[in-house]
Structure 1
Amino acid sequence: MDRLTRNSIIISAGLFLFLIATLAWDRYGAAPRVWQLNTLLKEDPVLAQSPYRFRATVFLNGIVTLTSPLADMVSIETYVKTVDPSLADKPADDGALQAAEHAFRETELRAIAVMLAEPDVDSVVWALDRAWYHKHGVRLDMAPGTGT
């Protein structure tokens, strides 16, 4: 057998084993913990009805990092008006706007509760989901020194 044939067989076998391991990964509960946490978030009936899909991005030492459309630099009003354009012209004290903000806060608390219900999750931290705003065509004007 020449060298090229031998190398081709070795590479093909390696790729085949990698494919089998990848397909069996989730089936036998060996999926990375972040994937498992994201499945929990996706399958929760309350969170499934939310216009924003929370995602776990990191799980380390009992701390899960979830994406959120909110952060110190982005107001809840910006998020709510992006999700529901009919609220765009409403003042901050409008009842419909405040109800939408309250509903999002309740959804956020639900995401925390789903994560903390897991025995290996001790706390939740938030990471601003800039990609969500980009996808919805909203420019985030960040203060100097915030990394953007």
Structure 2
Amino acid sequence: MDRLTLSAIIASAAFLVFLIVTLSWHNDELRPRIWRLNEILEQDPMLASYPYRFRALVFLNGTVTLSSPHALERPLRPFLDRIEPALTGKPDNAPEVQDAERRFRSVEAHAVEMMMNEPDVQTVNWALDRAWYHQNGIELPPPPPLSPVAR
């Protein structure tokens, strides 16, 4: 292959990639669905005003997985103490702690509602946001080991 042909192929491929990226960026239908779900979460005033940013991590077969600072394996209190330092040292039944928990549950439920309002979302799952804990210097127990695959 001569140099001119190779240059023409490279230029054509670069133009094609540019065209695809440009069209997908400006056309909602061509942009990845996960990007659009995250935009919905980011643009909601209630979610935007909360100190934690819920994010859509995976969207597959009608199921969206959202990040959360709380999951079954992790208590909510260390998260609340970090975002509201005035709660540190107060008992769990203190009115301020109860209010903070209610606010979190309300915002979390609103994030689920936002996703369930989308016509192609049937289920919402949660994934513990281990990166948030790491970034905030809160130690987490190691994740549970994966179970061996049945043969």
Q: TM-score normalized by structure 2?
A: 0.87
Question: Displacement, 1:143?
Answer: 6.3
Aligned twin of 2:16: 17
Deviation at 1:7, TM superposition (A): 2.7
Do 1:42 and 1:48's aligned partners in 2 also have CA atoms closer than 8 Å?
A: yes
Give the letter for the 1:64 counterpart. Answer: V
Further displaced range: 66-75 or 102-111: 66-75
Q: 1:143 to 1:118 in 2, by over 3 A?
A: closer
- What letter is aligned with 1:98? Q
Instruction: Structure 2 unaligned segments of length 5 or more: list them.
Output: none
CA RMSD in angstroms comes to 2.0
Paired residues for 1:105-144 under 5 Å: 105-142=105-142
Q: 1:143 to 1:7 in 2, by over 3 A?
A: closer
Task: Name structure 1 gaps, 5 residues minimum.
Answer: none
Distance in structure 2 (CA, Å) of the matches to 1:57 and 1:116: 15
- With normalisation by structure 1, the TM-score equals 0.88
User: Paired residue for 2:27?
Assistant: 28
Kindly indicate whether residue 99 of structure 2 is the aligned counterpart of residue 99 of structure 1: yes
C-alpha distance after superposition, 1:21-49 (max 9, x if no partner) = 22321311111111111111111111111
Which residue in 2 is equivalent to 1:73? Answer: 73
Q: Could you tell me how far apart the structure 1 residues matched to 2:34 and 2:87 are?
A: 34
Aligned: 1:84 with 2:84: yes
Distance of 1:2 and 1:146 partners within structure 2: 53
Query: Counterpart of 1:100 in 2: which secondary structure?
Result: helix
Equivalent pairs: percent with the same residue? 44
**Number of equivalenced pairs:** 146
